[in-house]
Amino acid sequence: LVSVLSSAIIVYRLPWTWKCSKLLMKFIHAGLNTIAMILTIVSMVAVFDFHNSKSIPNMYSLHSWIGLAALIFYSLQLFLGFAIFLLPFAPVPLRAALMPIHVYSGLTIFATVIATALMGITEKLMFSLQNPKYSASPPEAIFVNSLGLLLVIFGALILWMASRPHWKRPPEENAKVLQLIGGTPEGTEAESTMTDGSNADKSELRINSEAARKQNLKLDEAGQRSTM
């Protein structure tokens, strides 16, 4: 989850992917999340099988509680992501309204996964190190503590990339969005209905189109700040 989910989070933020189509990046994002989900289920089955074979109680620690909660919310996140953002059935206003929630919940799940990993490796050290004990700071403890610090730094970098405006995917072409806000690019029906053909009217149309384009840029910039 730490490695694959982080890749799914920043796949829109990598500059060399900005030339790819938005649909392709959606499929890559969904594919990475699906792989992460499959690996998570395999890991959960392995944990329960190990506990049962060693007669270790299941679901008693805070690590297990938060880990299971992360899995449940991640399953819900994946299902809603497929149903709303990948399949072409949800209306655009619904997608726009749920996108900030989708982004926030994804980042929250990722932070929860980091916290679960930190609690898990600490718990393993406490149970495994007996002679010398964890409190004596043997090499194993120093190694795993260093791994925990690297996890925190890695998670912080991913969250930073996902929240910085200059890492956002550039907006799509303005001409496609102008029609949604009343703009009229060149050659549209609005221009063909001008019967007098005067230069003043044509100039006014171009001014209106330019104003609509600027308004679209402002709206798109505001929307980018609330989405990934």
Asked if residue 6 is part of any domain, the answer here is yes
pTM above threshold 0.85? no
Tell me, what's the pLDDT at 190?
31
Cα distance between residue 146 and residue 186, in whole Å = 60
Residue 28: exposure state from Cβ atoms within 10 A (0-12, 13-18, ≥19): middle
Asked if residue 217 is part of any domain, the answer here is no
**pLDDT (tens digit, 9 = 90+) per residue, 79-97?**
999 999 998 889 999 999 9
CATH of the domain at 100: 1.20.120.1770
- Give the chain's radius of gyration (CA, Å): 25
Asked if residue 199 is part of any domain, the answer here is no
Asked if residue 206 is part of any domain, the answer here is no
Asked if residue 150 is part of any domain, the answer here is yes
Asked if residue 226 is part of any domain, the answer here is no
Asked if residue 135 is part of any domain, the answer here is yes
Cα distance between residue 114 and residue 55, in whole Å = 27
Return the SS3 of 133.
Answer: strand
**pLDDT (tens digit, 9 = 90+) per residue, 54-66?**
999 999 999 999 9
Domain that holds residue 158: 1-170
Number of compact structural domains in the chain: 1
Tell me, what's the pLDDT at 164?
87
Tell me the one-letter amino acid at 60: Y
